[in-house]
């Protein structure tokens, strides 16, 4: 699969798309899932609600945010792939995190939820034809292709993976 062109997404998303070095983004996502599982299974129970600074999300909140974002981006991709012409809504990531009660949940349950979401998304994206991947739609009042959303999903997760390793779990 070809990488998305700059014209297929807003410049803001380049931060995420640039994190995906391979063109085979689906294989990257499968490998990434294994790395995520290994990382989160290494988190000590007493660190699950840890945040590296005041006002920053906890480890569980980061995982919940990654899962929520992946779900939202995949929904957008599904809608656009199916020919939706209406603008899809944005979402307030901080508001979602506040309402989710992630710190009250079991980390293993959250990891299982992420795994299932990721596996489902991989199957979904494999089902899209080249024409579907190239479809352009509107999300959060901005134009984006299905293919760009796929790379955004992978890159967004990688962005947070890097932060988890360097700011949350550097001493693990």
The domains of the chain, with CATH numbers, are 6-48+55-168 (1.20.120.450)
Computed from CA positions of residues 36, 159, 130, 125, in that sequence, does the dihedral angle turn out positive or negative? positive
Tell me the pTM. 0.96
Q: Which residues contact 143 (CB under 8 A, 6 or more apart)?
A: 8, 9, 10, 136, 137
54 touches 139 (CB < 8 A)? no
Write the pLDDT tens digit of every residue in 78-88.
Answer: 999 999 999 99
Write the pLDDT tens digit of every residue in 155-170.
Answer: 999 999 999 999 999 8
């Amino acid at each position: 699969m070809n990488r998305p062109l700059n014209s297929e997404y807003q410049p803001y998303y380049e931060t995420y798309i640039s994190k995906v070095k391979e063109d085979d983004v689906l294989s990257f996502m499968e490998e990434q899932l294994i790395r995520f599982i290994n990382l989160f299974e290494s988190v000590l129970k007493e660190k699950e609600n840890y945040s590296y600074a005041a006002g920053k999300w906890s480890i569980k909140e980061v995982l919940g945010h990654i899962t929520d974002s992946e779900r939202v981006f995949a929904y957008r991709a599904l809608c656009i792939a199916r020919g939706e012409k209406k603008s899809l809504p944005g979402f307030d990531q901080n508001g979602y995190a506040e309402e989710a009660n992630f710190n009250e949940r079991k980390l293993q349950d959250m990891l299982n939820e992420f795994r299932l979401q990721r596996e489902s998304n991989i199957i979904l994206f494999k089902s899209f034809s080249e024409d579907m991947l190239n479809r352009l739609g509107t999300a959060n009042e901005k134009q984006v292709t299905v293919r760009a959303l796929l790379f955004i999903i992978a890159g967004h997760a990688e962005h947070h993976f890097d932060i988890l390793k360097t700011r949350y779990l550097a001493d693990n």
